[in-house]
Amino acid sequence: MLARQIMQKNLVTVPFKSSVQEAAAKMKEHNVGSVLVLEDGAKLKGMITDRDIAIEVVANNKDPRLTCVCDVMSQDIITAEADVDIDSAMRIMNRARVMRLPLMENGKLVGIISLADLAVAMKEHIDQFMGLEEAALKG
């Protein structure tokens, strides 16, 4: 199974110069724990998570309305091609110790997968296998 088959295509993003407050509002609106940070509406520059906001802004008593996401976001974002198989995607995420993996196609951001997406896909895979095994035993 390929990452593109399970990726989230409706990306939650904010512009590079957005405030942390704007990013947090997007997270709340879309019920997500992170937003991708884009420059010029398309180029992936980073990612900001609810954890980044808690540790870098709230814990340091910074004003989220005056703090730029560009000062708080993770910048060295690990990405993968959308056609990577999900086993490889899991290895990439495990090695990088990340919970979310943006997916690219021809240098453009096209989706994102999370550990939760992978867990659901793996469960479906296991369920299918168990169904085949059960059918074979009855067979």
Q: What tens digit of pLDDT does each residue of 81-104 get? A: 999 999 999 999 999 999 999 999
Is 3-138 in CATH node 3.40.50.300?
A: no
Domain coordinates in residue numbering, the chain = 3-138
The CA distance from 124 to 87, in Å, is 14
pTM of the predicted protein model = 0.83
CA distances from 4 to 20, 85, 95, 139 (A): 29, 9, 20, 34
Over the stretch 14-72, which tens digit does the pLDDT of each residue have?
999 999 999 999 999 999 999 999 998 889 999 999 999 999 999 999 999 999 999 99
| Helix then strand then coil, % of the chain, to nearest 5 | 45, 25, 30
Cα 132–128–130 angle (5° rounding)?
A: 55
